[in-house]
Structure 1
Amino acid sequence: MKHPSIALAMQPSRTEHVLPAATLRRLSELGDLLDTQPLQRFDDDRARRVLAETEILITGWGSPYVGREVLAAAPRLRLIAHAAGTVKGIVDEQVFDAGIAVTHAAEANSIPVAEFTLAAIIFAGKHVFRFRDLYVTERNRDRTHAMQRLAIGNYRRTVGIVGASRIGRRVIELLRPFEYRVLLFDPTLDATEAKSLGTEKVDLPTLLQQSDIVSLHAPSLPSTRHMIGSRELSLMKDGATLINTARGALIDEAALLATLHTGRIEAIIDVTDPEIPEKASGFYDLPNVFLTPHIAGAVGLERGRLGDMAADEIERFVKGEPLRYQIQRRDLALIA
């Protein structure tokens, strides 16, 4: 394919830094960039004119849904390069039926999530947030000095990884330089595969019972909804920390809040279900919760990786090379 026509569809306010000037110049060299201003809807005159010529569509956060009507309006469409993570809610299954290639930048988004998780694990092991709160509140070091004698820190601690997903594997890789024992629960892997990752394969109850820190990296599927509930939380060690940078629906949040109210465990929570907890939620106020507003994934300049990965895939497509991150229809049932 020579000089394919390229269009953009995403919400500019949510995708700043995804396609900086240098990336747009690169795209212009790979094809004919129809409009540097992304489409935010597919049902107006501008969209209809652009879609009629589009062979490659770059989507991102806030993109309108690509379904039957878009396919009819874009008869030349051959590739959708999603400059973000999951394509669920963006791309209809009819796109795959039409033989249109779909690729995504989830690999790029996994890097900051894994980095965030590594930082969370290290801070959790050292009880950094508890030290911070006591020091700021009391403005002396009496209690924080005494805490240093507790069985805390990161030397020979046990970290439990739930899910050998793209992000889960990257977290495991980042943990290798440290002296952690790493347990892994993932029913899709056998013991040999788990060992090759540098982990010990265990069942979920064993992981929860033995881990000082538990980090969730499973996809949000009907089978994984509320996989961490009252029973699972009761198995966790006193003083253990639960980290969730995956999807809020993995946890029965009522059960988690009830457990957190006892003070028995701690939690670092970046994702919730619903996405924004109600204003009266204990997630905001409990001293043993460190809550962040879904920032583990790409923010700010980190978003540039998303655009770069989409451009890399487009370059492969133009050259007739295999796509590195292509999604097949069958993958939809397994991805987050």
Structure 2
Amino acid sequence: MRAAGAMSADAAATVLAPVLDDLRALCDFGPITGELAELPDVDLLVTGWGCPPITQDALARLPSLRAIVHTAGSVRGFVTDACWDRGIAVSSAASANALPVAEYTVAMILLTGKRVLERARSYRSVKQVDHYAIPPTVGNYGATIGILSASTIGRRVIELLRPYDFHVLMHDPFVTEVDGAESVGLTELFRRSDVVSVHTPLLPETRGLVSGELLGLLRDDAVLINTARGAVLDQDALVAEAGRIRAVLDVTDPEVLPADHPLWRSENVLITPHLAGSQGNEWGRLANHAVAEVRRWVNGEQFATPVPAGRRERIA
């Protein structure tokens, strides 16, 4: 079987390079390029960050292409309708990439529950603490956690929250039941939750979904966590609410926010540089996932993590 890589040079060097020998042991693999016009006709593409859209014109130069194995999460940016229409089998590492995002989310839920960052700043300043003066809103016992969207990541967060003394709510218009969570309406999720964690894909109908109206339903000192896409949140509305509620934003719109954006100056808002997803040694999980999927394809097996054509309109 002939295969090649389609991704940026950086993605090739950091994600794929460590497993090249494994791929070459499975198939006739190479080259790796970010320019589809430079690819030879192959049976399978291993794609990654920086892969350009695989359009009808690109497919005309790849008449043998029958499968795509993606080394990252979303395939929306490059798997076009032409790929689905040809019946090309697509696999994504979204499930592998979901774990570090879910881990980050759980960490932030626990840290914000104890108000760790704020109390650490105060401790550094005053060098003393009165534990009996801590308000009853601080702590993680019995807190209500709202998960917005039962996506791959949202479900993983719900799974990781099971050992804790939380009550977990979930809202998803397409899913009515997830083990470990109480399914509720959208407004109820925001009204009842101490923490709302956003895991909604960015679709036309979800742009600005987390509106000022919903933010206004959160109790004082509640927390909003967004690891999905920045545009799912009405950031102007958050600016207005940032003195009343807290927020952890791993994604913004745009990335990076302008230097003079007011969210940078809010002590109630923590902005991290889109680090929740796979980074550093976590790229190894993505690469090994891709190798396993290539092995299945070479052996005539179905992908373990296929992306069905019927989900094309709802994938992130």
TM-score interval for Structure 1 and Structure 2 normalised by the shorter chain: over 0.9
1:32 aligns with 2:12: no
* Preserved CA contact (<8 Å) 1:20 1:304: no
* Preserved CA contact (<8 Å) 1:160 1:208: yes
* Preserved CA contact (<8 Å) 1:17 1:304: no
Could you state the TM-score of these two structures normalised by the residue count of structure 1? 0.90
Secondary structure, counterpart of 2:251 in structure 1: coil
Q: Please give the alpha-carbon distance, in whole angstroms, between the structure 2 residues aligned to 1:162 and 1:235.
A: 14
Q: Displacement, 1:311? A: 1.3
Aligned pair partner of 1:185 in 159, 166, 171? 171
Q: Relative to 1, partners in 2 of residues 1:330 and 1:147: Cα closer, same or farther, differing over 3 Å?
A: farther
Alignment correspondent of 2:9: 12
Secondary structure, counterpart of 2:4 in structure 1: strand
- Which contiguous aligned blocks of 4+ residues in structure 1 show a shift greater than 6 angstroms? none
Q: Please give the alpha-carbon distance, in whole angstroms, between the structure 2 residues aligned to 1:151 and 1:42.
A: 55
Alignment correspondent of 2:160: 174
Secondary structure, counterpart of 2:312 in structure 1: helix
Aligned pair partner of 1:131 in 107, 119, 131? 119
**Percent identical residues:** 42
* Preserved CA contact (<8 Å) 1:15 1:303: no
Structure 2: gaps (5+ residues): none
Q: Displacement, 1:146? A: 5.9
Secondary structure, counterpart of 2:169 in structure 1: strand
* Preserved CA contact (<8 Å) 1:216 1:245: yes
Q: Relative to 1, partners in 2 of residues 1:280 and 1:15: Cα closer, same or farther, differing over 3 Å?
A: farther
Q: Please give the alpha-carbon distance, in whole angstroms, between the structure 2 residues aligned to 1:15 and 1:279.
A: 31
Alignment correspondent of 1:225: 207
Q: Relative to 1, partners in 2 of residues 1:221 and 1:325: Cα closer, same or farther, differing over 3 Å?
A: same
Q: Over aligned residue pairs, what C-alpha RMSD do you find?
A: 1.5
Q: Please give the alpha-carbon distance, in whole angstroms, between the structure 2 residues aligned to 1:308 and 1:189.
A: 30
* Preserved CA contact (<8 Å) 1:18 1:305: no
Alignment correspondent of 1:281: 261
Q: Displacement, 1:158? A: 0.7
* Preserved CA contact (<8 Å) 1:162 1:214: yes
Alignment correspondent of 2:183: 201
Q: Displacement, 1:321? A: 1.1
Q: Please give the alpha-carbon distance, in whole angstroms, between the structure 2 residues aligned to 1:77 and 1:252.
A: 41
Alignment correspondent of 2:142: 156
> Which one is further off, 10-19 or 104-113?
10-19
Alignment correspondent of 1:214: 196
Structure 1: gaps (5+ residues): none
* Preserved CA contact (<8 Å) 1:16 1:300: no
Secondary structure, counterpart of 1:153 in structure 2: coil
- Equivalent positions of 1:260-299 (< 5 A) are 260=242, 263-299=243-279
> Which one is further off, 152-161 or 97-106?
97-106
Secondary structure, counterpart of 1:58 in structure 2: strand
Q: Deviations over 1:223-258 (max 9, x none)?
A: 211111111111001010000001111111111111
Alignment correspondent of 2:128: 141
Q: Relative to 1, partners in 2 of residues 1:139 and 1:72: Cα closer, same or farther, differing over 3 Å?
A: same
Could you state the TM-score of these two structures normalised by the residue count of structure 2? 0.95
- Equivalent positions of 1:239-278 (< 5 A) are 239-260=221-242, 263-278=243-258
Query: Aligned AA for 2:96?
Result: A
Secondary structure, counterpart of 1:71 in structure 2: helix
> Which one is further off, 65-74 or 55-64?
65-74
Q: Displacement, 1:74? A: 1.3
Q: Displacement, 1:133? A: 2.0
Q: Deviations over 1:105-150 (max 9, x none)?
A: 11111010000001010011111111122123x14124x6465354
Q: Deviations over 1:281-305 (max 9, x none)?
A: 1221210011001111011111111
> Which one is further off, 156-165 or 98-107?
98-107
Alignment correspondent of 2:46: 58
Secondary structure, counterpart of 1:87 in structure 2: coil
